[in-house]
Structure 1
Amino acid sequence: MRVLHVTAYFAPAYGFGGPPRSLLALCRAQRQAGMAVDVFTTTANAGARLPAHPEGVDVEGVPVSYFPVSAPAALLGATSMRRALGLAAVDADLIHIHGLFNRTVWMGASIARAAGVPSIVSPRGMLEPAALAHHRWRKRASWQLFDRRALHGAAAWHATSHAEAEALRLRDHDKPIAEIPNSVEPVTVDEAARLEARQSAGVPAGAPYVLFLGRIHPIKRLDLLAAAFALVRASVPAAHLVIAGPDERGHRARVEPLFAPIAANVHWCGEVDGRRKAGLVSGATTLVLCSDSESFGMSVAEALIASVPAVVTRTCPWPMLDTVKCGYWVPQTPEALARGLIHVLSDLDEARAMGRRGHELVAREFGAPAVAARWAAFYRDVAAMRGSRQESR
């Protein structure tokens, strides 16, 4: 089974949030399961562009070809990718396209049609209402001109959560949809890494801290978190808040003043990765996520696998926090968010028990072997469609 993954951005372009990281984990799991996997992507990055490697380079065991972004850069395309991807498609069993609303997606869909290779589209949350509202008019035009055909012309779709799958079914009741979560790999963290991460963030020794891990972007609703944490501080004065993630388009300057009344207990770390990120996650008392929309919410899975409970709003697809009792799934209001955080911070023994239950959940449901096996079965079904006429609308 040879699979070509086509995406506008890939690891280490972590400034784009969770998708580059989760896609790398997916490719690693698929390679370990014996699949032949190749990634075609661009040099796009939230900061400085990545080095171009059109000939291919190894990224943690995954062969990746990086093609230089071509104008207009905002559309995240690489003209030089077309020939290489077209040649690779001849021997591929299927093409897996990630995201929407960019030239790389359109190219991948076009080449799949031309080569008669079945394609799968993973929208990665880009069809959620909150995501569609961002750059609304540009996305409406893109949908009519390119993305509608790319999506509906695919042999099948993929959703990372039940909520995303249900939203996709409203667009086409007959399209095969695989509901497969992102895979999560456990990270070994020692006490030294936790201590270093705490010190680098400026959190006092022994103080409990809440961790926000993600892009500094309007959709993440840090304004709501500011109001919620002010309520938390009134109840748990020793609590601290660590905000770790890349600043997207200067949004931090707009939202940071909202934290001014509690600034002494709020720590901005910027983008974190590797040992520092693992130490911050493992050392947190709880993780918080209150986005307007998430197709999955990778930071929640990363916290749970590290035995850290999570407090997440119901705008994100984590109802199992309540059912498995590994955190709190709450309404998207400052008061509800604060109540969940206060519950965790006020009973550290129960917080540790929730963390253990969360670890067991993620290891069982989102572990790399289990997720890779589900992908292998779905890929076999889709690859069998080769030669059939893909729907084009």
Structure 2
Amino acid sequence: MKVLHVIPSISPSLGGPTTVVLNLVKALLDNGTEAEIVTTNHNGSKLLDVPLYQKIEYQGVPVWFLPYFSPPMKEFIFSPAMTKWLWQNIKNYDILDNHYLFSYAPSVAAAIARWHNVPYTIRTQGQLTSWALTQSKLRKQVYSTLVERRNLNHAAAIHCTTEAEAIDVRFYGVKAPIIKLPLGVSQVAINPQAVAQLHSKYNISPQTPIILFLSRLRHNKRPDMLIKALNLINTNFQDFHLLIAGTGEPDYVNYLKQLLISLNLTNRVTFTGFVQNEQKNLLLQGADMFVLPSVSENFSIATAEAMAAGKPVLVTPGVQLAPEIIAANTGLVVEENINALFQGISDLLSSPKLREELGNNGSTWASNRYCPNQIASNLTHIYKAIINKTGFCESEISQAQEYGSINNFDKTAMLRY
């Protein structure tokens, strides 16, 4: 069995989607499944410095990079070379695993796969939430009518990582079978000096608790609301330091910095910029808590990584991992407003014992539910069932949820504040 993962870009700056596909293909290879990636050399406003039109090892996995042409809609990542390559090579693979929606590479891959009778799965990656569909609404409505609904409904399966994502897919009218499998999060070696090293690196007092925001800096992630909530914490004379890890559009980053100046919080907040590998692990292991007040967030690999690192997490209901956080008691889920954020963060700051309990729960949950090898094994089983046309029922291919029920959750009941 040979699997091809199709994704528009694996630029490091894209964060979660890039981490997901690289980790998943690594896990599949470790599980004995032959898997490769085809993508473009897109890297934001730059190009990835990689060889084109040849399979190379990139961060430990086999990847084909092809050139792209950037039209006015930058996120579309148009690539005529992708069309030609897929047309010539798609029959070399038994199944395609397409990542993302409303983008050229997965769209053309699905169409060519149908022409050549190669089955494919699709990961919607949060693109069918009500919030996401309101962004560039008219363009997405036209694109859905012409392309995306057909691609989705002819897929062998739609891979959803949360129950909420599966609900979004069905609400969108997709009839294809749904796979419900979380994403894998690798356990990293514990660094017993992480706390001391992180405080030292950013010149933070050893007694000051560190709050971590790790995500792309975009308005839907609501770092501005977090800053305003921390202003109330500051007024309440609670000690803290916020590390904002990630990059974003210069205008939005400047807005955040101006907001900090206006609230007199600049000495309490540090922008780390983009982080990865050891630097990211240091942040996750050295911080005291992880906060993501996002309006719309699919699986949120950063939240899962924080849980795996043994850190309590605080999120809003827009983060679709919220039901699992409640089920496993790994953190707090609060309403999407400043006062609720203030109260939740204040409670965590006030209770090291609570932080430790929630963090330990998160580490246990992640090691069981987000084990990359187990998820790769389950996915391999699904691939084989699709290729061999042996059939499967959705209940058989959903990741077991033996650590607590997370289905049909009541959002109002799960909110802490």
TM-score scaled by structure 1?
Answer: 0.92
CA apart distance, 1:105:
1.7
Determine the C-alpha separation between the residues in 2 that align with 1:198 and 1:143: 48
Q: Which has the higher contact order (CA 8 A, sep 6+)?
A: 1
Asked whether the 8 Å contact 2:79–2:105 carries over to 1, the reply is yes
Aligned amino acid, residue 96 of structure 1: D
Task: Determine the structure 1 residue equivalent to 2:331.
Answer: 327
Task: Determine the structure 2 residue equivalent to 1:293.
Answer: 296
CA apart distance, 1:373:
1.8
CA apart distance, 1:2:
1.0
Determine the C-alpha separation between the residues in 1 that align with 2:164 and 2:107: 25
Q: Deviations over 1:306-359 (max 9, x none)?
A: 111100111112223223222101111111112111111111122112111100
Determine the C-alpha separation between the residues in 2 that align with 1:301 and 1:56: 31
Q: Deviations over 1:213-246 (max 9, x none)?
A: 0001111012211221112223353211110001
Asked whether the 8 Å contact 1:29–1:368 carries over to 2, the reply is yes
Pair 1:5 & 2:5 matched? yes
CA apart distance, 1:58:
0.7
More off after superposition, 161-170 vs 321-330: 321-330
- List gaps (5 residues or longer) in structure 1: 387-393
Aligned to 1:247, the other structure's residue is in SS state coil
Task: Determine the structure 1 residue equivalent to 2:314.
Answer: 311
Asked whether the 8 Å contact 2:153–2:175 carries over to 1, the reply is no
Determine the C-alpha separation between the residues in 1 that align with 2:327 and 2:115: 46
Determine the C-alpha separation between the residues in 2 that align with 1:272 and 1:194: 17
Task: Determine the structure 2 residue equivalent to 1:188.
Answer: 189
Task: Determine the structure 2 residue equivalent to 1:44.
Answer: 42
Aligned amino acid, residue 235 of structure 2: A
TM-score scaled by structure 2?
Answer: 0.87
Q: Deviations over 1:263-288 (max 9, x none)?
A: 22011111111211111110111000
Task: Determine the structure 2 residue equivalent to 1:218.
Answer: 219
Aligned to 2:47, the other structure's residue is in SS state coil
What does 1:108-119 align with in structure 2 at a 5 Å threshold?
108-119=109-120
Give the 3 Å change call, closer, same or farther, for CA 236–282 of structure 1 in structure 2.
Answer: farther
2:287 to 281, 284, 294: 284
* Residue identity (%): 28
Determine the C-alpha separation between the residues in 1 that align with 2:250 and 2:40: 20
Q: Deviations over 1:17-57 (max 9, x none)?
A: 31110111111111111111010001112352212432011
CA apart distance, 1:256:
2.7
What does 1:369-384 align with in structure 2 at a 5 Å threshold?
369-384=373-388
Task: Determine the structure 2 residue equivalent to 1:389.
Answer: none
Aligned to 1:57, the other structure's residue is in SS state strand
Task: Determine the structure 1 residue equivalent to 2:142.
Answer: 141
More off after superposition, 150-159 vs 187-196: 187-196
- List gaps (5 residues or longer) in structure 2: 391-417
Determine the C-alpha separation between the residues in 2 that align with 1:66 and 1:248: 25
RMSD: 1.9
Determine the C-alpha separation between the residues in 1 that align with 2:251 and 2:141: 25
Asked whether the 8 Å contact 2:128–2:172 carries over to 1, the reply is no
More off after superposition, 66-75 vs 346-355: 66-75
Determine the C-alpha separation between the residues in 2 that align with 1:265 and 1:307: 24
Determine the C-alpha separation between the residues in 2 that align with 1:286 and 1:14: 24
Asked whether the 8 Å contact 1:46–1:248 carries over to 2, the reply is no
Give the 3 Å change call, closer, same or farther, for CA 109–96 of structure 1 in structure 2.
Answer: same
Asked whether the 8 Å contact 1:211–1:288 carries over to 2, the reply is yes
CA apart distance, 1:205:
2.9
CA apart distance, 1:303:
0.5
What does 1:1-393 align with in structure 2 at a 5 Å threshold?
1-10=1-10, 13-53=11-51, 54-72=53-71, 74=74, 75-172=76-173, 174-192=175-193, 194-235=195-236, 237-248=238-249, 250-260=251-261, 261=263, 262-317=265-320, 318-385=322-389
Aligned amino acid, residue 15 of structure 2: G
CA apart distance, 1:96:
0.8
Asked whether the 8 Å contact 2:197–2:286 carries over to 1, the reply is no
More off after superposition, 280-289 vs 133-142: 133-142
Determine the C-alpha separation between the residues in 1 that align with 2:86 and 2:202: 43
Determine the C-alpha separation between the residues in 1 that align with 2:80 and 2:203: 45
Aligned to 1:157, the other structure's residue is in SS state strand
Q: Deviations over 1:72-117 (max 9, x none)?
A: 2722122112233233321311111100111112221122112100
Determine the C-alpha separation between the residues in 1 that align with 2:377 and 2:156: 20
Determine the C-alpha separation between the residues in 2 that align with 1:100 and 1:217: 19
Aligned to 1:328, the other structure's residue is in SS state strand
Asked whether the 8 Å contact 1:158–1:179 carries over to 2, the reply is yes
Determine the C-alpha separation between the residues in 2 that align with 1:134 and 1:174: 24
Give the 3 Å change call, closer, same or farther, for CA 137–195 of structure 1 in structure 2.
Answer: farther
Task: Determine the structure 1 residue equivalent to 2:410.
Answer: none
Asked whether the 8 Å contact 2:194–2:285 carries over to 1, the reply is no
Determine the C-alpha separation between the residues in 1 that align with 2:343 and 2:294: 17
